[in-house]
Chain A
Amino acid sequence: QVQLQESGPGLVKPSETLSLTCTVSGASIKNYYWSWIRQPPGRGLEWIGYIYYSGSTNYNPSLKSRVTISIDTSKNQFSLKLNSVTPADTAVYYCARVMPTRNPRLDYWGQGTLVTVSS
């Protein structure tokens, strides 16, 4: 059974960097894409970006200047860094596996972690 678990601070100050890690268990991180998605309170899902196990990345253009996603295959983990955060970045952050088919879908999700941006 594939499981994903997000970890990281639940409170970040404005202008600082949000850092989260997703630990994957029950499956190898290799041969898949891995994604970060967020959901502001009361709103819909927003794709942040994804990374392939080889290290290639693709980011949401609206966040690209502030986002870095990295991967550590030895630890079966991938990570998100979002810098210069503002209260608008307050959201539940999810990590998910991307099934690498012709029309990729997100087949396994972490439980999500709420990150609040506030001083």
Chain B
Amino acid sequence: SYVLTQPPSVSVAPGQTARIPCGGNNIGSKSVHWYQQKPGQAPVLVVYDDSDRPSGIPERFSGSNSENTATLTISRVEAGDEADYSCQVWDSISDHPVVFGGGTKLTVL
């Protein structure tokens, strides 16, 4: 089945820009969704189809996807952005269509 690879952790100072990568073989040919999960809470969709935002998600959250890496970018990082972030794709040709990355812990210094 398709594999998504994320670094375990990313750290950033408040006000700076955080970039969280999600690697996969030719991931640029797929659409990537991103979820934010704060401790003890359910995941929340923050970016879908590579770069679209659901209603209510701040413009500070954006995404890109090219070749073998998709990236979630959080601008002007705030303390409240500290969370785990997971990428997800739909692998339509697989018997395991819903694929998650292992998640990245974003720490705001």
Contact = CB atoms under 8 A, between A and B. Distances in A.
- Pairing of A with B: yes
Given A94-B42, A105-B48, A109-B43, A47 B100 contact: yes
B102 A105 contact: no
A60 to B, nearest CB: 6
Contacts of A111: 41-42
A35 B96 CA distance: 13
Contacts of B98: 35, 37, 47, 50, 104, 106
Contact of B95 (A44, A45, A61, A94): A61
B49 A45 contact: no
A105 B88 contact: yes
Contacts of A119: none
Interface in A1-59: 35, 37, 44-47, 50, 58
Contacts of A61: 1, 95-96
A7 B96 CA distance: 26
A104 B86 CA distance: 15
B98 to A, nearest CB: 4
Contact of B42 (A60, A102, A110): A110
Interface in B50-84: 54
B89 A109 contact: no
B102 A44 contact: yes
Contacts of B33: 103, 105-106
B7 interface: no
Interface of B: 1, 30-31, 33, 35, 41-45, 48-49, 54, 86, 88-90, 95-103
Given A104-B98, A105-B33, 13 more contacts: A37-B98, A44-B103, A45-B86, A46-B100, A47-B99, A94-B42, A94-B43, A103-B33, A103-B89, A104-B97, A105-B90, A106-B43, A110-B42
